A and B are shown apart, each in its own frame.
Chain A
Amino acid sequence: MKRKQLGMNDILPWELIDRIFLRVPAKDLFRLRFVSKLWHSLISDRHFAESHYNFHSASSRSLFLVKDYTNACCVPLDTLFDVAAAPPTFKEVSLPSRKMPYSLFCLLGSCRGFLLLEEKPANFLVIWNPLTGSSKTISYSHIASEIQPDDAFRYGFGFDASRDDYLIVLYWHDNYYNEDVYLECFSLRTNSWIDLDAALPKPLGRWKQRKRSDLFLHGAIHWLCCSSEDYIDDDILIFDLKERSFSKISIPKQLVGCYPIYLITVEGCLALYLDDKHKTEIWVMKEYKVSSSWILMYDIPYGNNVPICMSNGSDIIALNYTMRYSKLRFVKYNVIGELLNYSPLPLSEYYYFYRSSCVYTESLLPLPGDIKDRDKKNKTGQECFEQHDVAED
């Protein structure tokens, strides 16, 4: 065969094609699986998906926003406040289909390209990869049937690298006046609930704020909780997924007694922010688990902010919700708290602002056990996203 007739697949060794794919965004790769069988096997490889995720996890993050009952949108963080002043690129996404009509999805968290959604009031949890469409539904009606006010549960979602497993933690109290707090943990790989009673610290802390505030970082799930009688948030409870054990670290002294505070990450570090509607303070723990390393990085004289990410090494980008006008927008502040820029979101309606947005990185990673099941499932096409409903618990 003459050289001119040869193509990329014939000339380049697959290791180099692999390295090219590493740099291609996940959303393109999903489509490129169908270019050729070689490309399909390179892209579908589990180890490739893992390297690709690691390559992109710090740099190619997006904000996922649930808009209404069936729709969401996704915007890459690096297109917000683009230097060339191009508007941010929003991609419309269809949410998975619901088990019950009229229920709505709340976004609880993200981990490695998967989003954890809660279907209320149906009491289902859904782990969903918006890019590949793979999803798993988990019912917790065995717990929920005894309860409950709307915000009775707290959740955690994380990945245990040592067992290649995703864990979902549910944490609740029976009723508001009861001291008893309960915790259960679901393992995706074993498709079962795990008993953690032996590891639980006693007493387990309660919480006060209404918004969810859990965080997955460094292989552990973190929650804010209070352990004292007066119900003031003063600790961060840490659940290490590998060791399946709990520990605590304290929040900065200046924040004890303040309300409401929430956990976030800033540039890979654990952080807390206080948003009392008139100002936003962001405290960052520079060295993980070292209480003395908390510093106040941002002191912003505006409230109603949900910090999202840093930009240009020192500015901070946040979602800002002006309650008075029901307007949602992206805002950018510099390190001394000055408002640099803002960009409105093209959303005409927005519900339950505080549980509907999340930073995540697109990935091609499969759910544990997905690879063998992939070829057997009947696929139903739905726009760009295929969806399989794996058996629920």
Chain B
Amino acid sequence: MTQLDRLSVYHWLNAWCIKPVGGALVRQEPEYILLALMGSPLKKIMLCSSEKEIFSVEEQVMVQHSVIINNMIEDGSYNHEESKIPLDCVDSKTLKKVIDYCTHHTHHHNDNQEDLEAWDAQFLNVDSNGLYDLLMAANYLEIRNLLDLIYGTIKNMIKGKKIDEIRRIFNIKDHGFTPEEEEQNRKEYPHFY
């Protein structure tokens, strides 16, 4: 058991307290709190992107947000001295952003709701393809609050828009309808387009 000074304890209690993070409630079981108190607060883990780039990130940050990584650490398959977690579905650019999100939300979870929302909005100010990559990464890593955030953002991009605009925004070049079908649809529901 490592030395625990008052600062470390404060740091841990701060990190593990029950607090809304990005709209999702992050709850910590008592065993985690105990485990946390026993370990070093700044323990890092290694994540490896599909491009074989290694990212070092605080364990508590990823464990708090990603169910997948949390499970890996919990079931002991991750050896802190040697292992890296390979994330073959996530490229470096996206992984960096995901780590960014998780880190910010862990360290700033005490901020007020407006500031967090503003940060989230800025964070998601990426092009469509970047958004899809983030969505797939968040889905793979099972990061609930990031998923909800992206779903909400895409939903708002869709709501209230007409069909031609949607095809433009989401770059849907081939809609798959036959020319006859498309013409028929346009005739029946002109105001949809």
Contact = CB atoms under 8 A, between A and B. Distances in A.
Interface in A353-393: 379, 381, 384, 386
Contacts of A32: 158, 163, 166
A384 B191 contact: yes
A13 B132 CA distance: 10
Contact of B176 (A13, A38, A381, A386): A38
Given A11-B129, A381-B189, A28 B158 contact: yes
Given A3-B129, A8-B132, A37-B176, A23 B151 contact: yes
A35 B177 CA distance: 9
Contacts of B189: 31, 34, 381, 384
A384 B189 CA distance: 7
B175 interface: yes
Most buried by B among A8, A19, A379: A8
Interface residues of B, number: 32
A85 interface: no
B128 interface: yes
Contacts of A84: none
B157 to A, nearest CB: 10
A42 to B, nearest CB: 12
A28 B158 CA distance: 8
Nearest to B167: A35
B33 interface: no
A325 B39 CA distance: 72
Nearest to B152: A23
Interface in A77-113: none
B188 A379 contact: yes
Interface in A1-53: 3-9, 11-13, 16, 19-20, 23-25, 28, 31-32, 34-38
B13 interface: no
Interface string A312-343: 00000000000000000000000000000000
Contacts of B171: 5-8
B185 A20 contact: no
A36 B175 contact: yes
Contacts of B185: 34
Contact of B136 (A16, A24, A25): A16
A20 B158 contact: yes
A9 B122 CA distance: 25
Contacts of B129: 3-4, 6, 11
A24 to B, nearest CB: 5
Nearest to B191: A384
A34 B163 contact: yes
Contacts of A12: 132, 135-136
A11 B129 CA distance: 8
Contacts of B151: 19-20, 23
B34 interface: no
- Of A24, A28, A31, A35, chain B has the most CB atoms within 10 Å of the CB of A35
B1 interface: no
Contacts of B136: 11-13, 16
Contacts of B132: 8, 11-12
A85 to B, nearest CB: 19
9 contacts: A3-B129, A5-B171, A6-B171, A8-B132, A13-B136, A35-B163, A35-B166, A36-B175, A384-B191
Interface of A: 3-9, 11-13, 16, 19-20, 23-25, 28, 31-32, 34-38, 379, 381, 384, 386
Interface of B: 128-129, 132-133, 135-136, 139, 151-152, 154-155, 158-160, 162-163, 166-167, 170-177, 185, 188-189, 191-193
Given A34-B177, A37-B175, 7 more contacts: A7-B170, A9-B172, A11-B129, A11-B136, A36-B174, A37-B177, A381-B188
Closest 3 CB pairs of A and B: A37-B176, A7-B171, A8-B170
